[in-house]
Each structure stands twice: as C-alpha cells, then as structure tokens.
Amino acid sequence: MFRNQYDTDVTTWSPAGRLFQVEYAMEAVKQGSAAIGLRSATHVVLATVNKAASELSSHQKKVFKVDDHIGVAIAGLTADGRVLSRFLRSECINHTFVYESPLPVSRLVVHLADKAQVCTQRSWKRPYGVGLLVAGLDETGAHLYYNCPSGNYFEYQAFAIGSRSQAAKTYLERRFQAFNNYPREELIKDALSAIKETLQGEKLTSAICTVAVVGVGEPFHVIDQKTIQEVIDSMEIREEAAADPGTMQEEDKSSEAAPMDI
Amino acid sequence: MALSRDWMYENNGGTCVAIAGADYCVVAADTRLSIGYSIYTRDYSKICKLTEKCVLASSGFQGDIKALQKNLAAKHLIYQHQHNKQMSCPAMAQLLSNTLYFKRFFPYYAFNVLGGLDNEGKGCVFTYDAVGSYERVGYSAQGSGSTLVMPILDNQLKSPSPLLLPARDAVTPLSEADAVDMVKDVFASATERDIYTGDKLEIVILNASGVRREFMDLRKD
C-alpha cells in the first residue's frame, strides 16, 4: 500500500522494515533469461538460455570464466554482470599473486556480497541489477552459490534464476537429492532438462543454450555447441524410447534404455 | 655513513641465451644461483613460460625476477579474459618493456631475454636492458656470462653488414638441432671462465609442435 512512498532511494526504509529499491533490483533479476546451476560432489554445471534481442543480433554473454576453478552465470542486467565478473576476476588474480594458491569460493562470494551490500547503503548508488550463480571448486569440494543484489548469498545443491525459472526449480526440487553422486554426464543432462523446462514448448537446441562445467581435474570452460547438441540428441532418443507404447511412465532417468528404431 | 643503494639488490649471477630460427626458438639458461662467492643452489630455473609461444629467461636479482614474472603472468591472465586468446610474443615483448619502464626510478634488477614464435610462426628473440629498452634480434645473451657468449654468437651467427648485401630477416639460417648444439657449446665455454655460470643447463625449445625442455650437465666448479 505504501510501496510508492518509500521507494525513491535505496537509503529509505519502509514502515514495514523493507528497502524497496533492493527488492526492485531483485525483480530485475527475474526479468533476465534463465540461468541454472547444479552441483555434485566433484563437478558443478552452469547452463543459461541465450536470448537474443532480435533475430538480427547475437545473444548476450551470460557465462563468464572467473578463474580456472570458478565460473559464473548471470541473470538480469548483463552490463552489471560484466562489471562484477571483471571484479571477481581481479580478486582471484590478486589472491593468487599474493598467496600462490586459488581463491576459495566461499571467500570470493563474501567479497562479492560485501560489494553488493555497499550499494544498498549509499544514497548516491543503486544496487546491482544482476543475480550471479557462482560455481567453483576448491579444497573443500564443489560449490554452487547464488549472490543476489541485496548482498545476500546462499549455497545451493541446485538453483535456477531468471524468467520462467520456477519451472526449472520445480524440476530440480524433485531430483536434487541424488545430484551429489551424479557423474558429470548425468549432471549435464539434468542441466539441459532443467533448461528445457524454462523454454515451455520451444525446441531445445545447442544454439539457444550455453553450458559450462568445472570439476575435479577439469578447469572451468564452456562446452562446445557440437558436444551439447549430441547430448541433446541422445536425450531425445531416450525420451522417445520411454514414451513408446507399453510404458506410460514419466521420463524418469532410465540408464539402461537403448535407442529404439525411430 | 654512506647510504648505499646496493643493499636493495643482489646479483645472483647466471647466463641466459636465446637463438631464433625460421620456425623455432631456443631459449637456454644455466641453473646456478649464487651470491657473492657462494652458491645458493645448483638447481634453480631462470626460465619462465609466459604463454604457449613465449618464454622469458632472466638473469640478475632473482627476487626482482620472481616479482616481474608474477606481474607479467597476472597481466597475461587479464589479457586472456578480455581477448579470449593468449598474447602473441611481440605483444608480450612490448608489455615487458612497459612493465620494466614503469619502475624506471627503482628498476627491476633483471636482464631479460624473451624468446618465442611470432604470429607467423617464425622464431623471435627480444633482448632487454634493466629499464625496458628492447630490440628484436636473431640471437642474444644476457647475464654474467654474456660478455663471453655474445662474441661467439656474433662470430657464428651474425650476418654481414646490410650495407653490403640485401638486408635479411632478424632470423638465423641454422637448423633447430644445430642451434641447440651451439647453445650447449657456448655454455660449456662460458662455464669455463665465468664463476657464476655452471652446474646444469636448461634448454627450452619452442616450435610448431609445442614446447620441449632439455637439460645438460655443466661443470660444477
């Protein structure tokens, strides 16, 4: 009811104890195209939907390598995301310069969260309008964090942000308990399936998504389109095999399903 | 009590050599680390790989050299993030020059030789002074044994004056195997007379198939 009176700047509290500008910034994250992350004990996978502004243009870059052991996927104002990625990269480089070892993921997300918090407490600034899924590997294992514009961060087994992410979250909620033991390939397949949920009918091809992985013995990198298309094709073959008459089950993971003649 | 600047630097000695060929580059340095008349270690590498196509060998104060190498590696990482590719050898050469000149009034005590393959795959060698003045050459030597090594390289590799003949590339006509043999020979000779050069020779060879490393024993006295 009083939302419009107390939302002019970030340094004004509402009577209910909320900072509306910060909440509006989190809305900006929901407007961006979807980004999801999943983690197992040894690998973390990030996947994003590539939405191009028009048919004539290329899509925006939403996945950034921060260091060999850390990468981020963003949703929201991509310009803010780019700037924050530059900050994250510089933090990693500075840490490695001084300590000759990779920056632990938990420390990096704290630096990022502190930087975001500053923008919620200065009258001449505005919060960053971007949510970041930080995927990384360090001595304590594989980690997936979500950093939001409010300056909060949370660790997740799997998460989805951006538009139509609720569909992906529902998909992940059903399956996340098994993720810790998943091998790398299964994690990638589930990431693609979650992306598919956000597409709501649109066909999943490797051209409209970006998938990146980091894991034990595997530095952070974006997987090339050809490999992703092969994974998508193999998933579709399995789906059609499962949907064949005789078994009307949902497309649960059936590892021994052989491709039938199509 | 005179305020001397020497206490801020030490000279750890050693010799670095690089030779550029038509499609390869050989960078070599001994592995002795000295201070005064003592040997700190017989097994210290003066060669640092900066990119897949670019290798830096430095003689002088190894504390400054370590800092310089870290500085360049960090700058290279930023470049890779921004450009999605590695720096070329000539680009790294310019970066090294700028980095050295940045500390014009408190220099890195480092005498550098940068070797690698340029964008066309040809060998290139860049030689520096302590404050960043550099030049692309076909071969070079730096460090405590450089005065012993350079005249031999000139004798073997220097092309006749460009005033007499058509100007040539900054590249020697030697084959890769010959260049490696020459490097081994010059180091064996330098070891004889320079007390700071010896123990072991590390040779890094860059060519189209990648980077290769060889070692050779030198006199330990």
pLDDT score of B6 more than 90: no
What mean pLDDT, rounded, does chain A reach? 90
Which residue of chain A comes nearest to B76, CA vs CA? A93
Query: Which of A65, A86, A97 lies at the smallest CB-CB distance from B74?
Result: A97
Residue A213 lies in a domain: yes
Most A CBs within 10 Å, among B81, B83, B85, B99, to test the A interface: B81
Residue B159 lies in a domain: yes
Percentage of residues in chain A with pLDDT exceeding 70?
91
Longest dimension (CA), chain B: 58
C-alpha distance from A71 to closest chain B C-alpha (Å):
12
Give the residue from B126, B135, B141 showing the smallest Cα distance to B185. B141
Which residue of chain B comes nearest to A93, CA vs CA? B74
Which residues of B are less than 8 Å from A65 in CB distance? 81
- Determine the 3-state secondary structure of A162 from DSSP: coil
Sort strands A43-49 and A209-215 into parallel, antiparallel or unpaired.
Answer: antiparallel
Residue A121 lies in a domain: yes
Which residues of B are less than 8 Å from A86 in CB distance? 81
Residue A79 lies in a domain: yes
Q: What is the pLDDT of residues A125-159, one digit of tens each?
A: 999 999 999 999 999 999 999 999 999 999 999 99
Task: Give the position of tokens 């308990």.
Answer: A177
Give the residue from A28, A13, A262 showing the smallest Cα distance to A161. A28
Which residue of chain B comes nearest to A98, CA vs CA? B70
pLDDT at B161: 62
Full residue range of the structural domain in which residue A200 is found: 20-236
**Interface A-B: count of C-beta contacts within 8 A:** 12
pLDDT score of A71 more than 70: yes
C-alpha distance from B68 to closest chain A C-alpha (Å):
11
Query: Is A124's Cβ below 8 Å from some Cβ in B?
Result: no
- Determine the 3-state secondary structure of B85 from DSSP: coil
Residue B134 lies in a domain: yes
pLDDT score of B172 more than 60: yes
Residue B8 lies in a domain: no
Query: Is A90's Cβ below 8 Å from some Cβ in B?
Result: yes
CB-based contact A93 B70, cutoff 8 Å:
no
Sorting pLDDT into bands at 50, 70 and 90, what band is B169? low
- Determine the 3-state secondary structure of B207 from DSSP: strand
Query: Is B8's Cβ below 8 Å from some Cβ in A?
Result: no
Which residues of A are less than 8 Å from B77 in CB distance? 89, 93
Residue A261 lies in a domain: no
Which residues of A are less than 8 Å from B99 in CB distance? none
Q: Tell me how far apart the alpha carbons of residues A199 and A171 are, in angstroms, rounded to a whole number.
A: 13
CB-based contact A97 B78, cutoff 8 Å:
no
- Mean pLDDT, to the nearest integer, of B20-42? 96
pLDDT at A240: 80
What mean pLDDT, rounded, does chain B reach? 93
Strand-pairing partners, residue A135, are A71, A144
Sorting pLDDT into bands at 50, 70 and 90, what band is B109? very high
Residue B78 lies in a domain: yes
Please calculate the CA angle A37-A38-A42 and round it to the nearest 5 degrees.
Answer: 130
pLDDT at A53: 79
Q: Which of residues 10-49 of B touch A (CB under 8 A)?
A: none
pLDDT at B139: 94
Q: Say how many CA atoms lie within 13 Å of A43 toward its Cβ.
A: 19
pLDDT score of A248 more than 50: no
Residue B3 lies in a domain: no
Query: Is B74's Cβ below 8 Å from some Cβ in A?
Result: yes
Q: Which two tokens stand for residue A250?
A: 């949902």
pLDDT at A253: 43
Number of domains in chain B: 1
Sorting pLDDT into bands at 50, 70 and 90, what band is A249? very low
Task: Give the position of tokens 């064949």.
Answer: A244
Provide the CATH number for the domain around residue B113. 3.60.20.10
pLDDT at B46: 96
Number of domains in chain A: 1
Residue B143 lies in a domain: yes
pLDDT score of B47 more than 70: yes
Full residue range of the structural domain in which residue B48 is found: 14-216
Name which of A47-56, A133-142, B49-58 the model is least confident about: A47-56
Residue B9 lies in a domain: no
Give the residue from B65, B34, B43 showing the smallest Cα distance to B195. B34
Contact (CB, 8 A) for B162 and B172: no
Name which of A1-10, A41-50, A109-118, B92-101 the model is least confident about: A1-10
Which residue of chain B comes nearest to A65, CA vs CA? B81
C-alpha distance from A2 to closest chain B C-alpha (Å):
45
Query: Is A96's Cβ below 8 Å from some Cβ in B?
Result: yes
Contact partners, residue B119, CB within 8 Å, separation at least 6: B88, B90
Q: Tell me how far apart the alpha carbons of residues B16 and B203 are, in angstroms, rounded to a whole number.
A: 10
Residue A3 lies in a domain: no
Which residues of B are less than 8 Å from A90 in CB distance? 78
Q: Which two tokens stand for residue B216?
A: 């050779």
Contact (CB, 8 A) for A22 and A127: yes
Residue A82 lies in a domain: yes
Which residues of A are less than 8 Å from B78 in CB distance? 89-90, 93
pLDDT at B7: 81
- Determine the 3-state secondary structure of A2 from DSSP: coil
Provide the CATH number for the domain around residue A112. 3.60.20.10
| Dihedrals phi, psi of B219, to nearest 5 degrees | -60, 140
DSSP A47-63: EEE--BSSTTSPBPP-E
